Structure 1
Amino acid sequence: MLKGLHHTAIICSDYARSKAFYAELLGLEIISEQYREARQSWKLDLALPDGSQLELFSFPGAPPRPSYPEAQGLRHLAFAVESVETVAHWLNEKGIATEQVRIDELTGKAFTFFRDPDGLPLELYECE
């Protein structure tokens, strides 16, 4: 049956800004990048260290996210990190605001949220 998460797709409003955020700032490796003329759309495949991928798309005229963060559909995307405090501090130094680090009452693990250039909620979740 299911073996794991292969990829998550994100439609961005400003392709160049989102590409810089995910590839340059967060350091995700670019696997491939194509411009699809028929759709007037860019598609960027990015690799995470665990083998999963992010796909970034640009579609002309795509509607904005209806609300933050409680719209139906994908609520947020969570990244596993060794130290939430360390990564949150690093993001803050790069000008990316993070919420206060909290502790998950069910697991005892630290977590926090930040946003991508389109306001998509992203989470840092502490994993050993």
Structure 2
Amino acid sequence: MFKRIHHAAIICSDYAVSKHFYTHILQLDIVAENYREARQSYKLDLQLPDGGQIELFSFPNPPQRPSTPEAQGLRHLAFAVVSVEQSKRLLEEQGVPVEPIRIDEFTGKHFTFFQDPDGLPLEMYQE
């Protein structure tokens, strides 16, 4: 029935800062950008190389995330990368703090976490 995840939606607190982060630092391609006057909201559609998308929304005064990843609901968003080490280095060169690399005890693959400008936990996981 389901083939893949089509998109994940993220609500940000500062549209310009988050747009820069996802398009310049994470280098996601812009598919479409729309301002919805009735909602005073931007919707930015971003695409990964495999066709998966992220919808980045801005709303006036959105509530903050309740807590760290152990809060109920979506825990984190994970990106597949060829090299966790190289991707970590590239993010750190752009001033993005990245946690130490860990090894998945079940798969033996490398992974690590970093955060977007609003503290949303993002993961890099070795292909």
Residue 105 of structure 2 corresponds to 105
How many pairs are equivalent? 127
Structure 1 distance, partners of 2:35, 2:17, is: 16
> What is the TM-score of this pair, normalised by structure 1?
0.98
Q: How do residues 1-128 of structure 1 correspond to structure 2 at under 5 angstroms?
A: 1-127=1-127
Please, which runs of 5 or more residues in structure 2 have no aligned partner? Answer: none
> What is the TM-score of this pair, normalised by structure 2?
0.99
In structure 2, give the amino acid aligned to 1:25: I
Q: How many Å apart are 1:69 and its aligned residue?
A: 1.4
Over the aligned positions, Cα root-mean-square deviation in angstroms equals 0.5
Please, which runs of 5 or more residues in structure 1 have no aligned partner? Answer: none
Structure 2 distance, partners of 1:86, 1:3, is: 29
SS in 2 for 1:31: strand
Structure 1 segments, 4+ long, off by >3 Å, are none
Instruction: Give percent identity, aligned residues only.
Output: 68
In structure 2, give the amino acid aligned to 1:73: G
Structure 2 distance, partners of 1:69, 1:4, is: 23
